[in-house]
Structures are given as C-alpha cells and as structure tokens.
C-alpha cells in the first residue's frame, strides 16, 4: 500500500471504526447512568411512600422527630454512594475515550507522515521550497494537536477533581442536615 490515496482511505476507515467504537462506549456509559438513576429513583420513591405511611401513624411530636431523624440520617450515605457511582461511570468512560482517541491520533499522524514522505519522494524537481513549507505546516499542526491533547487531559483531570470535591461537599452537607 504505497499509494498515498490508499493510505489516506485506510486511515479514514480506521478512524471511522474508532469513532464507532467510541460512540458505542459513550452509549454504554449513558446506559449505566440511566440504570443508576432509575434504581435510585425507584428506591427513593419506595422509601418516600414508606416514610409517608409511617408519618401518618405517628401519635406524638417526639415520635415524629425520631422518625424524621431516622429517615434523613441514611441519606448522606446514600448520596455519597450515588455520587461515587456517577463519578466512576464518568471516569471510566472518559479514560476509555481518551486512550482510544490518543491511539487513533497517533496512528493517523503516523499514516499521514508516511503519506507525506511518499509524496516528498515523488515531488517534482524545483518544488523543494513548497515541500518544505508543507512539511513545516504539517509539523506545526501535529504540535497543535499534541498541545490540545495535553490541554484536554489537564481539563479532564481538573473536572474530575472538582467533581470529587463537589461530591464530598454535598455529602458533608447531607450529613450535617441529617444531624439537625
């Protein structure tokens, strides 16, 4: 496969396959999140009805306060568990996508480099300046892609750290609220 057009077509096919795989993984992550939310909603609904029934049978204010405390106290733990599940789903999907994206970009850059090398070898005499300019532009674009990848990684790490902090703060607030 020395023909640059064939190399580009093969690279495009590989990129389409990679995009399809990434889309499937993204949908799998969304499915996990939907399943988690459905399970959490179902559990919350059942607990709410059971609590409402219990509240209707209360006879004294002390019983009511005791019942309320017993209802709200486990919410902090449930909130923590929920946020941890969400974070693990998001992290898992993000890591898979990033690894796959980086691998495909590296493959594409390698294939493009091979195609350019082939074109340079077959370039007509007198086109050295144009070829050098093209190679320089290609090199700069590859550096820009690498810089973008580094920025995306940093932003992803920052977002995950912020999510972890927000999750902890929400859990702490829920614990404090349940003690009041």
The listed range with the strongest mean pLDDT (11-25, 28-42, 88-102) is 28-42
* Mean pLDDT, the chain, integer: 79
Is residue 105 within 8 Å of residue 145, measured between CB atoms? yes
Cα–Cα distance, 180 to 177 (Å, whole number): 5
Q: What is the per-residue pLDDT for 2?
A: 62
63 against 158, higher pLDDT: 63
State the pLDDT at residue 86: 85
This prediction has a pTM of 0.56
Max avg pLDDT among 57-66, 80-89, 120-129: 57-66
Residue 177 in this model has a pLDDT that exceeds 70: no
Q: CA-to-CA distance for 114 and 97, rounded, in angstroms?
A: 26
Q: Closest Cα partner for 82 from 27, 34, 38, 40?
A: 40
DSSP 107-142: HHHHHHHHHHHHHHHTPPTT-HHHHHHHHHHHHHHH
């Amino acid at each position: 496969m020395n023909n640059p057009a064939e190399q580009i077509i093969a690279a495009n096919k590989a990129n389409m396959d990679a995009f399809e795989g990434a889309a499937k993984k993204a949908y799998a992550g969304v499915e996990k999140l939907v399943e988690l939310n459905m399970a959490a909603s179902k559990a919350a609904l059942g607990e709410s009805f059971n609590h409402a029934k219990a509240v209707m049978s209360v006879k004294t204010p002390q019983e009511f306060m005791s019942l309320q405390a017993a209802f709200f106290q486990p919410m902090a733990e449930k909130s923590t568990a929920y946020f941890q599940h969400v974070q693990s789903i998001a992290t898992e999907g993000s890591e898979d996508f990033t690894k796959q994206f980086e691998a495909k970009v590296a493959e594409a850059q390698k294939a493009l480099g091979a195609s350019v090398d082939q074109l340079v070898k077959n370039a007509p005499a007198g086109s050295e300046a144009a070829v050098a300019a093209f190679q320089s532009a290609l090199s700069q674009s590859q550096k820009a892609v690498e810089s973008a990848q580094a920025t995306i990684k940093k932003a992803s790490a920052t977002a995950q750290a912020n999510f972890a902090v927000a999750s902890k703060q929400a859990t702490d607030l829920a614990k404090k609220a349940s003690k009041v």
